[in-house]
Chain A
Amino acid sequence: MTAAPADLAARKVTAGERLTRGDALALYRHAPTHELGRLADLVRARKHPDGIVTYIVDRNVNYTNVCVARCNFCAFYREVGAADGYVLGFDEIFAKIEETVALGGVQLLLQGGHNPDLPLRWYEDLFRAVKQRYPDFKLHALSPPEVIHLSRLSQLPVRTVLQRLIAAGMDSIPGGGAEILVDRVRRLLNCYSKASAAEWLGVMETAHELGLRTTATMMYGSVERPEERIEHLLRLRELQDRTGGFTAFITWSYQPPNTELGGSEATGVEYLRTLAIARLVLDNFDNLQASWVTQGGKIGQLSLAFGANDMGSVMIEENVVRAAGAAYCMDEVEITRNVEDAGFVARRRNMHYELLGEPFFRQHAVPRFTELDVAREEGDEHVPPELDRYPARSRAGKLRQQSR
């Protein structure tokens, strides 16, 4: 049975009032899952009365897996000098863009490890080269911790780094690296040094001031407590009140396989409850994405009954979640089928959540795909030639450059 504070909080949602921390916790802890879903669906329908569910055709490219941050929840990174560490060449990235465009794609989600051998200039050169070749193609690139890493590497303020990246062609910032925006949790996850909660929020605030729109994320289910998840949401809500710069929120569960931290993954019900409470707390966010890549297509579709109004990205390629053992795939046909089966209207969008039209496959012949691509084929260890233009900082990088 719903506890009284949860009943009161539910009434507030129905009346369109803002939830307090206590309201949110009461609902998260005590509201029956269907009730939480019903409330989240009510708010979703208020914000999106047209019944449209959006998605974007893009590609999730990880330009390098070499990372010095060593977050203990990460199965993706490789240490500097590791044999299976990679940096994608510009040509490889151009080829990925061309494949993406052929499938109706409009942007790259470009993120990677904190590689000490890639200076700010590498990013600027890459972005400029992309924009020169594909002027309309968008770069949703570099999460706040990557921006902070570049700021430290180049010894320039975050604002300057962002200004230079924007000048080179960066269009928006993905909300990765937020994990839980509570420093107790960040210390336990060994990700406090890559960005404290305040630093993550600071990058986003600066980006918003500079006119960029960004997304926000939350990775739950590692070491945090329920009240820390709520704290995370409240911090995002507070920043959004001030800047209005977040376009969307995405939450996913920590993926334990192949990580140092280990443990077990939060369950499907916990995902749906967390998504729903996010919809209720983040009353100033328009869009909530379903994380089918971590939850699978079925729970991804059910997210639409628990507050989500966006199926995220067709993705084409994914490396980070796959490294932790999950390998779900949905192409545009499959996303559309799931959206329509749930009674919604499927529409393509861009990074600003502006509608681009009907599903691309209904107007063009596109190949089906049943598996997401990877950054690189296994065993491909080639080093892109242009890396020699950028002086390496790591010992391994210096040795490699000396030997060429």
Chain B
Amino acid sequence: MPTLQEIGARLAGGEPLDSPDCEAVVASSDLLGLGALADDCRRRRQGDRVTFVRVQQIPADALDAPEVAVLPAARELRIAGPFPEGRDGVRSVERVVSAAGAIPVTGFALDDLVERNASDASAVADVLAALRDAGLAALAEARADRLSGPQWLAAAGDAGLKIARLTVGEPTAEDGGAALIRRVAGWGGALAHVHAFAPLPRNLPPQPTTGYRDLRQVALARLLVDNVGSIQVDWSLYGPKLAQVALIFGASDVDAVSAEDGGTLGARRAPLAEIERNIRASGLVPVERNGRFENVGT
């Protein structure tokens, strides 16, 4: 099996990982070695820039509230929860988009739309087209472990909707957590419709994952999933400390920074100054983006 140094030298020369390389990185227990390799890989793509986004969540079940109050700091309005059935749902999205003005509105999970439409490709395409026509800037997420394959990413792309975040719903121990990353890595061209891959699970198990495991997942994601621009970590869900360290293990995008003032949200939801300070303290340069992954000034 090739060593991490040999793999690093090949990556630096612009060569992609071949199959023995992939086996070697998945088999490696050298966390710092993997981290350094993933960090090099990510720096070749993004230099020392780290993007982040301040998100205002709007619960899907509150879409028919009389007013949508948009926070001034929000750079993405994200409708959280399942898509409301029927025309009412589309109209609600239109209302949020109208209230948001220039701020991109994202929402819903692709896997959820597929499941609700019983994997009927034409029904899914209709919903995606309706959401696009309602002004949705991107689907908020797609959970890779709940998708049967890349054809659904392609369906979203065909409908003109990008997926802001390809992520993982439930943690899995299969292949030390690498099995799903390898599966995603095999989705090839369909990943062009995905802005970022967030390899850490959204549903936190009762027994938390460990720091080693989380960082290994982030590093493997960067090394194996070549077709996605950014590896993402969630600031609110994983907390500032782990999220910050992930930035030197291959992550280059920080999701879910609160658009609210930090005061009432607790230490884990840090405001703008906190996220910028954390990115700088890891030797990187913060760049704020919006829900379309366009850079915006801070």
Contacts and interface: CB of A to CB of B under 8 A. Distances in A.
Contacts of B281: 266-267, 269-270
Contacts of A343: 29
Most buried by A among B211, B213, B274: B211
B240 A302 contact: no
Nearest to A326: B267
Contact of B267 (A32, A257, A297, A302): A257
Interface in B250-274: 267, 274
A337 B33 CA distance: 22
Nearest to A41: B32
A22 interface: no
A341 B245 contact: no
A302 B248 contact: no
Which label, helix, strand, loop or mixed, suits the secondary structure of the B interface? helix
B145 interface: no
Given A32-B283, A299-B245, 15 more contacts: A33-B283, A34-B35, A34-B39, A37-B32, A266-B281, A267-B241, A267-B281, A268-B241, A268-B242, A269-B245, A269-B281, A271-B241, A298-B241, A337-B207, A337-B210
B244 interface: yes
Given A33-B282, A299-B211, A268 B240 contact: yes
Given A34-B248, A305-B31, A342 B36 contact: no
A301 B208 CA distance: 12
B274 A302 contact: no
Contact of B214 (A272, A298, A337): A298
A264 interface: yes
A325 interface: yes
30 contacts: A32-B36, A32-B39, A33-B283, A34-B32, A34-B35, A34-B248, A37-B32, A38-B32, A41-B32, A264-B274, A266-B281, A267-B278, A267-B281, A268-B240, A269-B244, A269-B245, A271-B241, A272-B245, A295-B241, A297-B210, A298-B214, A298-B242, A299-B242, A302-B215, A305-B31, A325-B267, A338-B210, A338-B211, A341-B213, A342-B210
Interface of B: 29, 31-33, 35-36, 39, 207-208, 210-215, 239-242, 244-245, 248, 267, 274, 277-278, 281-283
A296 interface: yes
Nearest to A301: B211
Contacts of A305: 31-32, 212
A269 B240 CA distance: 10
Interface of A: 32-35, 37-38, 41, 257, 264, 266-272, 295-302, 305, 325-326, 337-338, 341-343
Contacts of A299: 211, 241-242, 245
A331 B67 CA distance: 47
Contacts of B39: 32, 34
A267 B210 contact: no
Contacts of A302: 211-212, 215, 245
A159 to B, nearest CB: 42
A341 B241 contact: no
Given A267-B278, A268-B242, A298 B248 contact: no
Contacts of B215: 302
A296 B32 contact: no
A301 B32 contact: no
A331 to B, nearest CB: 12
Nearest to A30: B283
A341 B278 CA distance: 27
Contacts of B240: 267-268
Contact of A296 (B35, B241, B248): B241
Contacts of A269: 244-245, 248, 278, 281-283
Contacts of A37: 32
Nearest to B270: A264
B118 to A, nearest CB: 39
B208 A297 contact: yes
A270 B212 CA distance: 18
A34 B239 CA distance: 21
